[in-house]
Structure 1
């Protein structure tokens, strides 16, 4: 597949790196230094130029392109680029935008803007935050089968009752499957006798109820948060509060700008909006932010987010989640005390990458930076699973594949060896990256 990526920033470069091994990738950017860097670091064709220009797109081979991804930092540039690409050829176009207003317009009419698929950075970040907040011990969360199936990744702390148990001992839940254990540089497909060690990242797939129960088993003292404080009322902060309201939470939101605070109060009926500086220690103490179950920092820059979360933690707050604009800072944030660092750019790159891989799947989630994937596929007659038990199908599957869940007519079916998979079922599988291409053909 020939893919043209316009914009070689963090998002575009990450997408290019992920796709370059299996596809013919061309990257366009106005910055000569970025183009030179990509030329030496990745197996891609890098061109300097304006992606909005039809001449530049033609130089990149838009007539033969199967897909164009517009991933600059400017929403309007990305939309115009997709429209221009439709004039020069017939690629499938993907636009990255920050503002949800463009997404809402596109969702009302998918022909709008000449964009075939649109990804909203701020909304993705908010959804990631809310998913993590809903499971107090989770590092990553994703939904499948219209919400009937949940995938979650948990880090096992040393003091957890689960640490030192075998998978069979830890698996006390009817509709939960342990599909992977990430231990340093290894991915382990667990059996019942596999021991869960402190520091492991455990990946499970199951019903939302069982996933929440396992989350509580990992750290029994961690309950569903009741007091959530959002620091920063920008687009990510607003979208996070809105999504939390939809899930029955009543968060508090701190915003410094009086006009913005007034607007937020009008838009968020279940949210208490506080007008103040979130890095003011006296204000945080006065408002008992130290007693909050979770603090989410969504301020204008990484430095402010780090300061706000560490200050809240020092005052006694529970879980700290911070937005990190610079992808490379995410591990640093977590190393110095932030519980979960969410990178909107990384989330966007992952969403676009998984869409390019999973256009024939219902949903795809990338695990641990592309070391494994979770796929949801509707079973057709030609599938390796069709009208066979899971045990029978397993003999034809590559290594590193685990069936995590099945839904049938919207109902959850617990996958067991003697479970017969029917045509029309939705199957959610965990697949190590090395087995992905072979598994995709079998599905």
Structure 2
């Protein structure tokens, strides 16, 4: 597919590399020649220097031949104008705009067709939704949804004293008492797709496929304390904090926001009358202690600096805060410090990139192709959702007899309203969707690619 990416910032770079990895023809447009030159060298892509919202730049990028335009510059207005102009030049093109200003929400909803928009993305709103999702089940370090939310792959850490320490996976049901499947285990930096003889041990991070309705029961049966989050401290008062605080307050959760900029703190206090807003330095241990950090249920670090977020999160963990969520833009930071108290890691850039990538896959959704993809186990494994159609091999064959490639596991099958956590006797049929977990990172584009 020929794709144009307008804006070569953090989101643009992440998208370029992901889409190139999947075999697409990518052209980037940016007004900064130094940025373009650096990324042409790294990614070997076509580049056009210029304002992405102008006719000249889009014509140079051959917008008339493109199937998709992604406008991800730093200015919402340029992104919207870019999509509108592209649609005028090529009425068949799909357009995606990154729009971050909440004041535009109503206009985008009402004027979507007039603006030529196929999809709008708000990274900060996506991050707030993801964090709120994590705070609903604080025991999980990660949650990824499939099958329209009916199935989840959740991440859990096996701590000292866990009921799972020393348990072989074929005995898991005796403890969990609900049908789940451990689809990946991260141990000492290495990821494994386990079989029934695999023995769990303390320090493992396991990724479990389960029906969404069974998550609460799973936590209870594993002996994990399910204390509801009642008080949350947010350090940093940017857009993510605003969106997240709205959701928490609607859920009757007490919210305290620490913001260093006085004008921003005053604005948040006006916009969020139900929240407690503190003007001060969130990296100050004395301030955090005086504001009751040790007594709060959850700490979410949302400043504009990754390093500051990581340090504050580590301090909160050391003070005994039960749930810690850290916002980072450079995901390698989260991976480096995962075992040092940063808790769940959320990246607005990654979420934005993932949403757009799913849209691209939906455009390609023809024979047995991918419906959704999530990176799990610190990016060392992938969970892919496929639609099973008449072209997919081995339909009706028990899974124990299906020849899949090494490092591949079919972890869930959905059939109409039914969700099947499979065993060796299970099978898939035409019309089903199947969730496949793999460590191969090998560009599986159709379900048939997983078979040996």
Q: 1:355 to 1:163 in 2, by over 3 A?
A: farther
CA deviation vs aligned residue, 1:220-271 (integer Å, no higher than 9, x gap): 356443332223443211221233355x451312254223212211xxxxx5
Give me the whole-angstrom Cα distance separating, in 2, the residues matched to 1:427 and 1:211. Answer: 20
**Structure 2: gaps (5+ residues):** 260-264
Q: In the TM superposition, what is the alpha-carbon distance from 1:122 to its structure 2 partner? A: 0.6
Q: In the TM superposition, what is the alpha-carbon distance from 1:284 to its structure 2 partner? A: 3.7
Q: What secondary structure, in the 3-state scheme, does the structure 1 residue paired with 2:445 have?
A: helix
User: 5 Å matches for 1:185-264?
Assistant: 186-214=190-218, 220-221=224-225, 223-245=227-249, 248-256=251-259, 257-264=265-272
Q: 1:327 to 1:149 in 2, by over 3 A?
A: closer
**Structure 1: gaps (5+ residues):** 266-270
Q: What secondary structure, in the 3-state scheme, does the structure 1 residue paired with 2:141 have?
A: strand
Maintained 8 Å contact 1:189/1:400: yes
Structure 1 position 417 matched with structure 2 position 424: yes
Bigger drift between 253-262 and 105-114 goes to 105-114
The corresponding residue for 2:147 is 145
Give me the whole-angstrom Cα distance separating, in 2, the residues matched to 1:137 and 1:353. Answer: 28
The corresponding residue for 1:134 is 136
CA deviation vs aligned residue, 1:298-339 (integer Å, no higher than 9, x gap): 234446534543554454423222222455543456465422
The corresponding residue for 1:60 is 61
Structure 1 position 400 matched with structure 2 position 407: yes
Q: In the TM superposition, what is the alpha-carbon distance from 1:215 to its structure 2 partner? A: 5.0
The corresponding residue for 1:177 is 181
Bigger drift between 28-37 and 410-419 goes to 410-419
Q: What secondary structure, in the 3-state scheme, does the structure 1 residue paired with 2:253 have?
A: coil
The corresponding residue for 2:126 is 124
Structure 1 position 365 matched with structure 2 position 374: yes
Give me the whole-angstrom Cα distance separating, in 2, the residues matched to 1:194 and 1:166. Answer: 5
The corresponding residue for 2:262 is none
Bigger drift between 142-151 and 225-234 goes to 225-234
The corresponding residue for 1:268 is none
Q: What secondary structure, in the 3-state scheme, does the structure 1 residue paired with 2:63 have?
A: coil
Give me the whole-angstrom Cα distance separating, in 2, the residues matched to 1:145 and 1:118. Answer: 22
The corresponding residue for 2:37 is 36
Give me the whole-angstrom Cα distance separating, in 2, the residues matched to 1:49 and 1:17. Answer: 21
Q: 1:236 to 1:109 in 2, by over 3 A?
A: same
Q: 1:113 to 1:197 in 2, by over 3 A?
A: farther
Q: Please give the TM-score of this superposition, normalised by the length of structure 2.
A: 0.83
Bigger drift between 341-350 and 299-308 goes to 299-308
Maintained 8 Å contact 2:248/2:255: no
Give me the whole-angstrom Cα distance separating, in 1, the residues matched to 2:158 and 2:317. Answer: 20
Bigger drift between 100-109 and 224-233 goes to 100-109
Q: What secondary structure, in the 3-state scheme, does the structure 2 residue paired with 1:436 have?
A: coil
Q: In the TM superposition, what is the alpha-carbon distance from 1:126 to its structure 2 partner? A: 0.8
Q: What secondary structure, in the 3-state scheme, does the structure 2 residue paired with 1:63 have?
A: helix
Count of residue pairs brought into register by the alignment:
435
The corresponding residue for 2:12 is 12
CA deviation vs aligned residue, 1:397-436 (integer Å, no higher than 9, x gap): 4443323233344343333333354444443332443261
Maintained 8 Å contact 2:8/2:29: yes
The equivalent position to 2:280 in structure 1, one of 254, 272, 277, is: 277
Give me the whole-angstrom Cα distance separating, in 2, the residues matched to 1:41 and 1:327. Answer: 19
Q: In the TM superposition, what is the alpha-carbon distance from 1:121 to its structure 2 partner? A: 0.4
Q: 1:278 to 1:219 in 2, by over 3 A?
A: farther
Q: What secondary structure, in the 3-state scheme, does the structure 1 residue paired with 2:359 have?
A: helix
Q: What secondary structure, in the 3-state scheme, does the structure 2 residue paired with 1:28 have?
A: strand
Q: Please give the TM-score of this superposition, normalised by the length of structure 1.
A: 0.85
Q: What secondary structure, in the 3-state scheme, does the structure 2 residue paired with 1:111 have?
A: coil
Q: 1:373 to 1:325 in 2, by over 3 A?
A: closer
